[in-house]
Structure 1
């Protein structure tokens, strides 16, 4: 074989391996640690502390619900800026998905999550289908994001 082809194959294998580790393994624990850190930060006065705690509780509650987005790998490609969830930049931000999916894909978000009409999402969800309960949790999160 030619040297360039061998170099390409080795680079591709290394790149895919590193990509898997960086985007599949690390974010699951990294995002949860950030949430805990944000909740436990001390503040200098009583009133702002209460506001920060309420905000942190909202974020924590959302993070508890959003765990479905982390466990199913949604945040590997998507972000939800309305809920301060940063993720991958490959897929679109899901902040308005609850209201936009039907117009874009011709079916409500619940139905889209059962049977996606886009080629990419068909492959992703087809290989790792969501249960009815998981779909319900994702829809609740997307609805919450669209209301902010």
Structure 2
């Protein structure tokens, strides 16, 4: 689905504040509520809008440590990757996981309370996965930019 300029404006506004009422959203884009609601529903049905969430402040929740872990797997097969994916999906500390091209097979982003929790995670989880060969970790010193809104 290709978005027209009005849909882009609606989506940009919803990415910043998904709690906007249909009336408030319509007012901001200069249209009446019914057609505005239909545009939102079209984007939902097309899967462009996947859902609505509350963004939590990880610092206030005690998750002040952000760690990126690059993982190299022992073998490259569908079975190995499928098993690794299933195990990783079971851990809440892993907030993002990507399969990559190049020397690193997967990249994990973790949010944890502190470095001790990261050590526990590595020793009790990641390093016990038989498919994992080598890991390299980077601890974020500070967050410079973290946006949830996609560029439109």
In terms of fraction of residues, the more helix-rich structure is 1
| TM-score, structure 1 normalization | 0.26
Task: Indicate the structure with greater strand content.
Answer: 2
Considering Cα pairs closer than 8 Å and 6+ residues apart, tell me whether 1 or 2 has the greater RCO. Answer: 2
Q: Please tell me whether Structure 1 or Structure 2 has the larger radius of gyration of its CA atoms.
A: 2
TM-score, scaled relative to structure 2: 0.25
